[in-house]
Amino acid sequence: MRTLLPLQLAVVIALCAWLWVKSTAVDPLPDWRLGELVVIVPPPEMETENAFESELAEMFARELQVKLRLVPLPADEALPSLVERQAHLATGAIASSDYVLRFGMSYQSLDEMLICHGATPTGIDQLAGRKLVVAAGSPQEIALRKVQRIHEELNWRSRSNSSPAELLEEVATGKLDCTVANEEQLATERNFYPQLGDALDLGTPSELSWAFSVTGDDKLYYEAQKFFSRIKQDNTLHHLVDRYYGYNERIAAPDAEAFITKARTLLPRYRHWFEEAADLTGIEWQLLAALAYRESMWDPNATSYTNVRGMMMLTENTADQMGVENRLDPHASILAGARYLQQLKEQLPLRIREEDRMWMALAAYNQGMGHLEDARILASHSGLNPDVWADVKRMLPLLARPSVYKKTKRGKARGGEAVVLVETVRLYYDMLKRLDDRETLYLLPSFGQIGIIGRLAN
C-alpha cells in the first residue's frame, strides 16, 4: 500500500494542475459581445478588396455597437485561421467543403476569367503546355476546382503569398503563361497593362460571403444575415460596390496606355503646380491632375468648340470669377480650376459623405451647380438618395430628355456628359494614386514589351 502512495499522489497533483489550468485558461477569442469584433480581411496589397471589405466590416461593427479589430491575411491563411478561432468571421469567402465553417448569404457575384500572355485559349482543352498559376486558397483556385470536375486534364500550380494583381502583372510581362482573376481585378489591371487582352470566362462565378466558425454562437451569424438583408434592400451595398468598382472599365486600352505614357513624360512638368493647388484647397493633387487630363490631356493651349480654354478648360465667366487674365497660363489655370472645384464642393450640404460631395462637385464643374441640383431633386422624387453619387448619376442623363427637363428649374443639360467626366476622372485619379503609391510608372509600348521604368517624378 505504501508503494502506491507516491503514484496516487502524483495522479492527484496532475489532476489538480489540469483543473487549475482549465479554470484559468483564457479563450484566445473573447466573446464579441464583450466589446470587440475580430474580422479577417484581404491583405493590404489587395488594395480595393481590402478597403471594400474593411468598410463593410466597419459598418457591421457599428451596427453591433462594438469595436472592430481587422486581421489582414492572404487567402490561403484566412479560413484556416478562422477554423482555429483566431477571428469571429472572415470576409470575401467562397463556400467550400474543405473547412467545417458556416457561410452566410452572397453579397457579390464575380465572374472568374482565364487570361494568358498573348492569345488566350478559347477553351480549357487548349491550355496544354501552358503554365497556369493562381493564388493559393483564392476564389480563383476554387473556381478551377469546379472546372476540373468536367475537364479532368486541367492542372495548375498554387502560389502562396500572391495576389491576382501580382500574377496578372507576371502574365502581362511574359513571366507567366496564364492566371485567373475575377472581372474587377482584371479590369483594374488592364488599365495598367492594356495588352491584357481577351479573357475566357470560366463559367463558375465566385459568390462572395462571410464565413463563421461552426463553434461560434448563432447570434453573430444571424445578425450578419440581417445586416446584409438590410444593406441590400436599402441600396447601401449597391452604393458601396459603386464606390469601389463603379468606374473600373471606363476607358479603352489605347487610352489607358496614352494616359500612363503622358503621366510619365508630361505630368512631371506640372506636378508641382497641382501640389500647390492641393495645398491651397485641400483637394488631392492626383484628383486635380486627373481632372486636368480629362479636360485637356494636360495641354495648356487646349480650346474647345464652346471656347472653354486652357489646362482646366475654364469658361470666360469662370476665369473672370477666379481672377484669371490668361486662361492659357497653366499655373493660373490649375490654381483657378482647383479653387472653383473647391467652391462648388463647399456649396453642397455637409451631411453628404466626403467622396460623394467630390463626385457631385465634379459633375457641377462640368454642367453647373443648377443642373446638378435638378438631378438631386429628380433623385429624391424617384425614391433615391439625393446625397449619394451612385443615385444622382442615374438621374443626370435624364436632363437631356424633353419629358424630364421641361419640368426642371434649370432646363436642358448634357447630364450624361457629366457622368462620363466624373467616372473617368475617378479612374484616372485611382490610377495616379496607385502609380504614386508604387512609386513607379509603366511604359507600355504597343508591341507587347513592357517594363517598369522610372518613378513618378516629384
Catalytic residue set:
295
Quick check: helix, strand or coil at residue 451?
Answer: strand
Given the C-alpha cell 508641382, which residue does it identify? Answer: 272
- Secondary structure of the chain: what % helix, strand, coil (to 5)? 50, 10, 35
Closest by CA to 288, choosing from 306, 261, 264, 270, is 270
Q: Phi then psi for 186, rounded to 5 degrees?
A: -65, -40
- In sequence order, what DSSP letters do the residues of 55-122 get, joined into one string? HHHHHHHHHHT-EEEEEE--HHHHHHHHHTTSSSEEEEE---TTS-EEE----EEE-EEEEESSSPPS
- In sequence order, what DSSP letters do the residues of 109-177 get, joined into one string? EE-EEEEESSSPPSSGGG-TT--BEEETTSHHHHHHHHHHTT-TT---EEETT--HHHHHHHHHTTS-S
Closest by CA to 209, choosing from 141, 162, 149, 139, is 139
Beta bridge partners of 309: 303, 314
Closest by CA to 89, choosing from 200, 177, 209, is 209
Beta bridge partners of 206: 110
Q: Phi then psi for 207, rounded to 5 degrees?
A: -100, 105
DSSP 8-state code for residue 407? T
What distance separates the 2 farthest-apart alpha carbons in the chain?
110
Q: Are 408 and 374 in contact (CB under 8 A)?
A: yes
Given the C-alpha cell 419640368, which residue does it identify? Answer: 407
Q: What is the CA radius of gyration of the chain?
A: 27
Question: Helical H runs in 196-348?
Answer: 218-233, 236-245, 253-265, 271-281, 285-296, 316-321, 330-347
Contacts of 17 (CB under 8 A, 6+ apart): none
